[in-house]
Amino acid sequence: MPEAKSAPLLRVAHLKVAYPIRSSLLQRQISANVAVSDVTFDINPGETVGLVGESGSGKSTVARAVIGLVKPDDGVIEFEGRNITGYSRKQFKSVRREMQMVFQDPYASLNPRLTVRDLIAEGWRVHRDIVPRDRWTAEAKKLMDRVGLNPDYSDRYPHQFSGGQRQRIGIARALALRPKVIICDEPVSALDVSVQAQVLNLLDDLQEELGLAYLFISHDLSVIEHLCDRVLVLHHGHVVEQGNAREIFERPRHEYTKALLAAVPVVRPWLDQADEGRHPTGEPAA
């Protein structure tokens, strides 16, 4: 556990985001859909905070608000003690490099017309002072190597890579800006099971090596349980339960968390059921 007294890297307090509903003709706002409200949490350096919820729970909205892709309607977001809630686009630019994002779909989140080198260097093109132009290729190759891609393939396009490799490209892109926090929005849910574990291990290694903090968003409870120090359970835009990951998974207090945990299909249901003397799922063992 990180020391409780040190200032959090990222602090989100009473976050509220509503999407306006506009009339089709005059674009006047008619009403608003509240996506999340009253979400409060801290992330300390080197820590992983999980955000769990089903579709429509608002977990992606929280991520998008934190990284400035949507404007919060209420609440405060602080990064290293600075209140960034009201930052203009220009002011936000300096925060962006400290805070990066890995997206869910490795097929859709990489521009199909750019090579891997250009994809990784895109951040350096935006933030000019990180890597001088003549070092882009070398640095991009270094990053490819770091995330487990063959640096010789730096001239290839995303469609020439498999899903897991593309997600590694996405991670390399985020790392290129040398951030302190990475927001992972369902980074493994589009990947095959056998590849998921590779990417989760990579994220784990990077955290250890670079001291990264993660805001990890997922609907997959076993992934959250594996990675996270602390967890927030979101339901219809509200946090229904938050706290130490181990505690929540072992002793859920809220009804919704209990229902969620109970619904996860167990890989070997017979192991739990054997104790209760119930007949195992499936046919009697041979």
Partner 1 sequence: MTKTQPGTAPSASPTDAPLLSVQDLTVEFSTAAGVARALRNVSFDVRAGETLAVLGESGCGKSTIAQSIMALLPKPAGSIVGGKILYGGRDLAAERIPAVRELCGTEIAMIFQDPLSSLNPVFRVGAQLAEPFRRRLGMGRREAWAKSLELLKRVGIPDAETRIRDYPHQFSGGQRQRIMIAMALALKPKLLIADEPTTALDVTIQKQVLSLLADLQAETGMAMILISHDLGVVADVATRAAIMYAGRIVETGAVRDMYDHPAHPYTKGLLESIPSQTSIGGRLKPIVGSPPNLLDLPSGCAFNPRCPFATDLCREQVPALRTPTTWPAGHEAACHLSEEVLTHA
Partner 2 sequence: MTATAPAPAPAVNATMRHARRARRGVTVRIVVPLVVIGLIVVGAIVVPLVYHYDPLHADLLARLKPPGTVTSDGGTAILGTDQIGSDLFAQIMAGARVSLLVGVATLVISGVVGLALGLLAGHFGGWLDAALMRIADVQLAFPSILLAILVASVLGQGVGNIIIVLSISNWVVFARVARSQVLGLKNREYVEAARALGAGNWHLMFRTLLPGCMAPVIVVATTQFAQVILTEASLSFLGVGVPLGTPSLGSTIYNGTQYLSTAWWISTLPGIVLVILMLAFGILGDALRDKFDPRLRSA
Q: Is 61 in the site for partner 2 (CB under 8 A)?
A: no
Q: Is 277 in the site for partner 1 (CB under 8 A)?
A: no
Binding residue (CB under 8 A) for partner 1 from 37, 196, 242, 257: 196
The smaller minimum CB distance to partner 2, of residues 100 and 242, is found at 100
Find the part of the chain contacting partner 1 (CB under 8 A) among 4-12, 19-27, 83-91, 220-228.
220-228
Contact 206, 212 (CB under 8 A): yes
Instruction: Write out the two tokens for 129.
Output: 């002072």
Measured in degrees and rounded to the nearest 5, phi and psi for residue 121 equal: -80, -5
108 binds, among partner 2, partner 1, none (CB under 5 to 8 A by kind): partner 2
Tell me how far the alpha carbon of residue 266 is from its chain's centroid. Answer: 24
Instruction: Write out the two tokens for 132.
Output: 């001088």
Q: Is 286 in the site for partner 1 (CB under 8 A)?
A: yes
Min dist. Cβ of residue 240 to partner 2 (A) = 28
Binding residue (CB under 8 A) for partner 2 from 21, 108, 264, 266: 108
List the interface residues with partner 2, window 157-176 (CB under 8 A).
Answer: 159, 170, 173
What torsion do the CA atoms of 69, 79, 185, 156 make, to the nearest 10 degrees? 80
Find the part of the chain contacting partner 2 (CB under 8 A) among 9-17, 101-109, 217-225, 239-247.
101-109
Instruction: Write out the two tokens for 200.
Output: 């989760």
* Amino acid (1-letter code) at residue 79: F
Measured in degrees and rounded to the nearest 5, phi and psi for residue 7 equal: -65, 135
Give dist(CA 235, CA 75) in Å, integer.
19
- Longest alpha-carbon distance in the chain: 69
Binding residue (CB under 8 A) for partner 2 from 80, 122, 139, 220: 122
Pairing outcome for strands 238-244 and 230-235: antiparallel
Binding residue (CB under 8 A) for partner 1 from 30, 134, 194, 277: 194
Using CB under 8 A as the criterion, which residues of the chain lie in contact with partner 1 when the complex forms?
Answer: 54-55, 162-165, 192-198, 200-201, 204, 219, 221-223, 225-227, 246, 259-260, 262-270, 279-283, 285-286
